[in-house]
Chain A
Amino acid sequence: MSLDIIATYAVAVLLIIGSFFVVVAGIGLLKLNDPMTRLHAPTKAATLGIGAYLLAAMVSSFLSGSGSLHELLIMAFIFVTAPVSANFMAKANIHRRDCLPNPPELPDGDTWATLNVPEEDREIEEAPPNA
């Protein structure tokens, strides 16, 4: 079997793996019923799904003779930014008091940074969500 054929199959397999994880992320987003657990599906399943797509793109570009390494950068940026966006969504959930149960209290008078609201913003923080 020549290298071309092996590489072509590798691209196909990577695309199938990628699609599987992206579909699972979508199913998770629809199925899970609480905002905090729903956060788990896209942050993880989607990273590996997109990673597999990018690997497929890279192999396919080398196969057609015009090698491309842009995909490595895209992957690095996704791995750096996915936790940040997940953290922002989690913070929004904490502000909305949307997580069941609410985060546990901390020992020795410490508070969670998200709930540490300055005095002048107390009113906004304590207003019921969707008001």
Chain B
Amino acid sequence: MMRPIRWLLPHPFLTLLLTVVWILLQNEFSAGMAVFGLILGIVIPVLTARWWTDRPHRIRPMRMIAYVALVLWDIIIANIQVAWIILTKSNASMSPAWVVVPLDLKEPEAISILAGTITLTPGTVSADLSANGRYLLVHALDATDPDAVRDDIKDRYERRLKEIFV
């Protein structure tokens, strides 16, 4: 019983995402469009499944939503902070720094979400990943204490991502 469902829906989240994106692209809601979106959402994952290197990991959706809300809030705060730094600090008094973040996450999806989060939030841009994927290179705009930035990233984002990707 499980096998046909897994064959038809190799990636239920992708199916849902494609359907929602299709309906939003139409910009008006009608039953026909929803059905067509659902067809696309089922056909595209089935056709592309053979090129995935491995099956997507199981995630906890509720925690993912909480994480997205936290990140959106942080983005707003980050923008105000960066605007304040740009407008009030002189170039000489800024202390840009490299921060090396050792990673506990293993899944490529989780690492890319972490890197994206770092770029969108307070004064940090993720610049590079180490060759074997164990360290993340982060550039901080104004960090007097790079270690505090590293601990903040690990505690605020990486810990939550570890709970999402179980």
Query: When the two chains form their complex, are residues A110 and B86 in contact, meaning their CB atoms are under 8 A apart?
Result: no
Q: Judge whether B79 is part of the interface by a CB distance below 8 angstroms.
A: yes
User: Known: A73-B25, A83-B126, A111-B131. Is A32-B91 also a contact (CB below 8 A)?
Assistant: yes
How many chain B residues touch A (CB < 8 A): the figure is 36
B41: chain A residues at CB < 8 Å are none
Q: Judge whether A47 is part of the interface by a CB distance below 8 angstroms.
A: yes
Nearest-neighbour CB distance to chain B for A117, whole angstroms, equals 11
The DSSP consensus for interface residues of chain B is: mixed
Query: When the two chains form their complex, are residues B128 and A114 in contact, meaning their CB atoms are under 8 A apart?
Result: yes
CA distance A44 to B94 in the complex (A): 17
Query: When the two chains form their complex, are residues B86 and A34 in contact, meaning their CB atoms are under 8 A apart?
Result: no
Query: When the two chains form their complex, are residues A69 and B79 in contact, meaning their CB atoms are under 8 A apart?
Result: no
Q: Judge whether B153 is part of the interface by a CB distance below 8 angstroms.
A: no
CA distance A35 to B79 in the complex (A): 19
User: Known: A24-B87, A41-B82, A83-B115. Is A103-B128 also a contact (CB below 8 A)?
Assistant: yes
Q: Which of B91, B100, B119, B123 is close to A31, meaning CB atoms less than 8 Å apart?
A: B91
List 26 A-B residue pairs with CB atoms under 8 Å apart, sorted by A's residue number: A24-B82, A24-B86, A28-B86, A32-B86, A36-B96, A36-B127, A37-B139, A37-B141, A40-B123, A41-B82, A44-B75, A45-B86, A47-B79, A48-B75, A73-B21, A79-B116, A82-B119, A83-B126, A87-B127, A90-B125, A99-B139, A103-B127, A104-B100, A110-B131, A110-B135, A113-B130
**Given pairs A45-B82, A69-B24, 19 additional interface contacts (CB within 8 A):** A21-B83, A27-B87, A34-B96, A37-B96, A39-B139, A40-B139, A44-B82, A47-B75, A70-B25, A72-B24, A73-B25, A83-B116, A83-B120, A84-B116, A86-B126, A87-B126, A90-B128, A106-B130, A110-B130
**Closest 10 pairs between A and B when the two form their complex, measured CB to CB:** A83-B119, A90-B127, A48-B79, A83-B116, A28-B86, A40-B141, A24-B83, A116-B131, A112-B128, A110-B130
